[in-house]
Structure 1
């Protein structure tokens, strides 16, 4: 069964390390420990039952408690599934480049290559618009393209 610890936000990895050290010293039936970056303040563990999970949490700092209901594998899959940045961007969106040589520049998306996770953007705040091909994870969307129906 999969259970969730409530922990101090930002201390998920510390708690996971302390828990892992405790497991190696004592005989506790925790099968897996998972830290998911998008799930701040929570730590996911797999164990036989809730008693084992509560016993493992005893005297470990930063653990605030255990959620009363076990988590289903479907809920875990939705958290683990990675979403492509290129799939959320549309042609015509105004984006800001957050890394690379053009960091801080604003640009308009002119082409999307989802297979390669690349975007071709046209810098907007320059005298001559220059098309530049960049990785999709190096942008932040500022304004979505207006839908003309």
Structure 2
């Protein structure tokens, strides 16, 4: 049994794919509306893992299973608990520019150039900004934008 210094256990719930956020919202709603007496101290929906939600609770495994039965799109509680150490890396947000390098082709998803394709010319990891040049621009004008305002299209550009 994996228990924190606060007496909490860490469980992994299997969910219907692409309904992880829904399961987390349904757990919150069930607790807020007193639809369950199961105590949950935290719910984490990691972006990197599809179909799973982490739950922190002082409750025993059987009680979390009771909760899962009442939550739409929640399937099962994995048999073995996990530890905070094993899930800690999911709690640290990734930089907005991670995975973006010079030469990467991106699509702008916000701002006045939304929908335009561009080539990354420079990446500033400290400010989490990138400088791009629009693909179809006659005169190449460098535009500096936040890394979370783009969607990577192709990483293989040289």
Q: Is TM-score (shorter-chain normalized) higher than 0.5?
A: yes
Counterpart position of 2:12: 4
Cα drift, residue 63 of structure 1:
3.0
Instruction: Verify the 8 A CA contact 1:90 1:109 in the aligned structure 2.
Output: yes
Counterpart in the other structure of 2:53: 43
In 1, Cα distance between the equivalents of 2:68 and 2:156? Answer: 48
Pick the structure with greater CA Rg. Answer: 1
Gap runs ≥5 in structure 1: none
TM score, norm. by length of structure 2: 0.75
Change (3 A) 1:63 1:92: closer
How far 1:95 sits from its partner (Å)? 1.6
Runs of 4+ that moved beyond 6 A: none
Give me the whole-angstrom Cα distance separating, in 2, the residues matched to 1:143 and 1:61: 37
Q: CA deviation at 1:35?
A: 3.8
Question: How many residues are aligned here?
Answer: 145
Which residue of 56, 63, 66 maps to 2:77?
66
Structure 2 gap ranges (5+): 1-8
What is the CA distance between 1:72 and its match in structure 2?
Answer: 1.9
Q: TM-score, normalised by structure 1?
A: 0.78
Question: How far apart, in 1, do the equivalents of 2:52 and 2:63 lie?
Answer: 18
Report the CA distance between 1:119 and its aligned residue: 0.9
Shift of 1:26: 5.8
Give the alignment's Cα RMSD to 1 decimal. 2.5
